[in-house]
């Protein structure tokens, strides 16, 4: 797991406290360490550190950017911790080990709909913080990557993607769990293995009996029909997506986050990504007070 901490210099900390005191008229509490304590504009002591949890992605800079997104009005420092599974992340939030979770809006709403103790809201930013999701493959499968990107583009342009999103994302956030989607079989055709984690529902969801379901299964079923390929589903852990590709356990892995400030060169060596197939606003999940 990785942590990213903002460092506060002694001089700036003291100056900030003096400024707040002089502007607001509030007195700074006595016997406090200015290095570890921050104050809001009312002179009230803010949380020393806000702990943020994010799901681990194949690109550390993506995790850092997501964790640092949003406005912070408390003046508190911020630390970020990455988790290899959604289960671990939710347990950490329930225990209070992290103060909030930053994740795709559909998953944030899914979490809140299924656990009353969770509340979800989009980030307080001047403009929406969008996260794109693509598929990742080995460079050795560059030709397959191009075919997948072409199919994704076609599915978007003819309106099929919107239909799938409405049914398998919006339609299952507060309702029952989606049924697994069956794949067409083509005798003698190429078989492509797709890896599922179950850690980004309802996009990437694995049912209680271990069968992948949700939006991603519906999407690759449609891709399979258009490319005339057979689909093989493989269940893996989120943190092992890159390893799954390197070892040949899977040819394609889902929900690789794509941000505007992240280029393909920043992704793991020897990897390539498809066109973005779905975009979500970044949201935050907290425990209800």
**pTM (2 decimals)?**
0.80
Q: In which residue are the tokens 């069956």 written?
A: 182
What pLDDT is attached to residue 30?
Answer: 44
- Mean of the per-residue pLDDT values of the chain: 83
Q: Is residue 174 packed enough to be buried (19+ CB in 10 Å), middle (13-18) or exposed (0-12)?
A: exposed
Q: Strand 252-258 to strand 130-138: parallel, antiparallel, or no bridges (unpaired)?
A: antiparallel
User: Which of residues 169 and 128 earns the better pLDDT score?
Assistant: 169
214-228 pLDDT per residue, tens: 899 999 999 999 999
What pLDDT is attached to residue 74?
Answer: 59
pLDDT-derived band of residue 44, with 50, 70 and 90 as boundaries? very low
**What dihedral do alpha carbons 199, 201, 204, 205 form, nearest 10°?**
90
| Secondary element (H or E) of residue 149 | helix 142-157
Range 45-56 average pLDDT = 79
**266 vs 147: CA distance, rounded Å:** 22
67-101 pLDDT per residue, tens: 988 866 556 677 899 999 999 999 999 999 999 99
Using alpha carbons, select from 79, 91, 81 the residue that is nearest to residue 118. 91
Look up residue 203 and give its two tokens: 């996009």
**Looking at the predicted structure, is the pLDDT value of residue 11 above 60?**
no
- Among 39-43, 175-179, 254-258, which is the least confidently predicted range? 39-43
Whether the CB-CB separation of 4 and 80 falls below 8 Å is answered with yes
**Looking at the predicted structure, is the pLDDT value of residue 37 above 80?**
no
**173 vs 265: CA distance, rounded Å:** 34
Look up residue 122 and give its two tokens: 């989009």
Range 251-275 average pLDDT = 88
Q: What's the DSSP call for residue 47?
A: P
> What CATH number has the domain spanning 130-286?
3.40.190.10
- Among 61-65, 246-250, 276-280, which is the least confidently predicted range? 61-65
Domain ranges of the chain: 10-129, 130-286
**61 vs 49: CA distance, rounded Å:** 21
In the chain, pLDDT over 70 holds for what percent of residues? 82
| Secondary element (H or E) of residue 162 | helix 160-168
């Amino acid at each position: 797991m990785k942590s990213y901490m903002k460092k506060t210099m002694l001089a700036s900390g003291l100056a900030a406290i003096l400024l707040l005191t002089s502007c607001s008229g509030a007195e700074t509490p006595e016997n406090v360490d200015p290095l570890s304590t921050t104050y809001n504009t009312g002179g009230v002591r803010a949380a020393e550190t806000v702990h943020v949890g994010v799901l681990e992605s194949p690109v550390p800079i993506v995790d850092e950017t997501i964790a640092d997104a949003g406005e912070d009005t408390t003046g508190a420092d911020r630390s970020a911790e990455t988790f290899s599974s959604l289960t671990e992340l939710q347990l950490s939030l329930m225990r209070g080990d992290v103060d909030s979770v930053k994740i795709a809006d559909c998953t944030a709403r899914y979490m809140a709909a299924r656990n009353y103790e969770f509340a979800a809201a989009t980030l307080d930013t001047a403009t929406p913080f969008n996260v794109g999701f693509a598929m990742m493959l080995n460079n050795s499968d560059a030709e397959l990557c191009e075919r997948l990107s072409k199919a994704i583009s076609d599915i978007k342009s003819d309106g099929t993607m919107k239909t799938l999103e409405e049914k398998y994302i919006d339609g299952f956030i507060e309702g029952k769990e989606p049924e697994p989607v069956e794949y067409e079989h083509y005798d003698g055709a190429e078989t492509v293995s797709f890896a599922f984690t179950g850690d980004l529902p309802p996009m990437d969801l694995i049912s209680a009996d271990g069968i992948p379901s949700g939006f991603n299964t519906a999407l690759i079923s449609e891709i399979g029909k258009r490319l005339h390929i057979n689909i093989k589903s493989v269940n893996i852990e989120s943190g092992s997506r890159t390893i799954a590709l390197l070892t040949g356990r899977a040819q394609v892995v889902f929900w690789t986050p794509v941000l505007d400030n992240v280029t393909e060169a920043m992704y793991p060596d020897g990897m390539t990504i498809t066109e973005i197939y779905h975009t979500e606003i970044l949201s935050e999940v907290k425990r209800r007070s």
